Structure 1
Amino acid sequence: MHGETMSGWLLVALCAATGAYCLLRMSSGAGDHRTGAGSEALMGFGMATMALPAAAVAPPVWGWAPYAAVFGAAALRALGQSRGSAHHLHHVIGSAAMVYMALVMAPNAGGAAHTGHATGYGAGGIPLLTGALLLYYAGYVLRSGVRLMPEAVVAAGPDSGAAVGWGARPELALACRLSMGIGMIAMLVTL
């Protein structure tokens, strides 16, 4: 019992910190970089609020509707931007997964009451869709983890000592994406 609440709060902290870093990234970029960072900040903060343990903060009965609306709009926006961009397509899948989880969490979804949220999310969902999303995010996490592995060091040039701002560090952005992918797996497993 205590472990589930603790893991819920750890997931909330991880997702909120990721969302905050994505806001920092948003202020240090322009154009497509800024749009992507904004989408990731929305995802991080949305995941943090959705992962709040119900023992501490009981969600209102109507609480699923704003999640579905916000992430439905985010999915449509990302779909419009996804032409030729795998990263925007990932945002479409992530936003659609959040809509799916919000609908599954809704009272009367699949006949399951929302009371199961105290120990995670209520049982429900479409097993095949949940499994497909779990497989997608498992592959995404593995791919992101491999991309974080250090590459061979190239001979240092005169610009190697240049300071890079916290918002412009690609390895931190990738680490945030990795942690949100792990968070999505944790949330999907509880369906």
Structure 2
Amino acid sequence: MHGPASSGWLLVALCAATGAYCLLRMRSSVEEQRRAAGGEALMGFGMAAMAVPAAAFTPPSWAWPAYAVVFGAAGLHALWAARTHVRHLHHLHHLVGAGAMVYMAMVMATSPGHGHGGSGIPPLTGILLLYFTAYVLATGARLVPVPAAAGTGGSARWGDRPELARACRLCMGVAMVAMLPAM
């Protein structure tokens, strides 16, 4: 990513911490948490790697197409999951997120030193910015503590808490809003 190094490192830390928490959620006893956590961990770590400031590390030329392949596969997985689990709209959000990662990787692969080239925000970037801004606002509004599930003694394991999962999704949405115009 191009832009100030301090904000890049903050994005790296935020996304890596989110990815690490999502890995812990993969050990959840709640099946739905486990299912979503793997894709979210991939997204968190992928965003962390992509947010490393260009002044600190310039990835080899093959890295951007590799990102595109990995997140393209993640997008196909999200599409398949959305087809089989129609009730779960978060699969469609994963599809949009994976598509945004593919898009950013391809932009960086075609012009690694210039991002968008300084000619304003392209329409697809603008659409993605609008989507992720709306997602952040909606997720933030829903970010209130949820009562613990029955049978947990009034205290759910911290990896099973839905509000923490929403907070992670909110963090990744904010990071996406920061990363898109910084390409």
User: Is the structural similarity TM-score above 0.5?
Assistant: yes
Look up the match of 2:122: 127
Deviation at 1:168, TM superposition (A): 0.5
CA contact (8 A) 2:22 2:41 kept: yes
2:85 corresponds to 1:90: no
Residues of 2 paired with 1:35 and 1:161: CA distance?
24
Look up the match of 1:44: 44
Residues of 2 paired with 1:160 and 1:34: CA distance?
18
CA contact (8 A) 2:121 2:181 kept: no
Q: 1:172 to 1:150 in 2, by over 3 A?
A: closer
Task: Tell me the SS of whatever aligns to 2:26.
Answer: helix
Look up the match of 1:144: 139
Q: 1:29 to 1:129 in 2, by over 3 A?
A: farther
Provide the aligned length of Structure 1 versus Structure 2: 176
Deviation at 1:161, TM superposition (A): 5.8
Task: Tell me the SS of whatever aligns to 1:80.
Answer: helix
Q: 1:61 to 1:29 in 2, by over 3 A?
A: same
Q: What stretches of structure 1 move > 3 A for 4+ residues in a row? A: 29-32, 158-161
Task: Tell me the SS of whatever aligns to 1:58.
Answer: coil
Kindly name which structure, 1 or 2, has the bigger radius of gyration based on alpha carbons.
Answer: 1
Task: Tell me the SS of whatever aligns to 1:68.
Answer: helix
Look up the match of 1:175: 167
Percentage of identical aligned residues = 61
Cα-to-partner distance string for 1:38-62 (whole Å, 9 max, x where unaligned):
0000000000000011111121112
Look up the match of 2:25: 25
Look up the match of 1:53: 53
2:75 corresponds to 1:75: yes
Look up the match of 2:105: 102
Residues of 2 paired with 1:159 and 1:34: CA distance?
19
TM-score (norm 2): 0.87
Cα-to-partner distance string for 1:120-141 (whole Å, 9 max, x where unaligned):
x453797111111000001000
Deviation at 1:30, TM superposition (A): 4.8
Task: Tell me the SS of whatever aligns to 2:142.
Answer: helix
TM-score (norm 1): 0.84
2:112 corresponds to 1:114: yes
Task: Tell me the SS of whatever aligns to 2:4.
Answer: helix
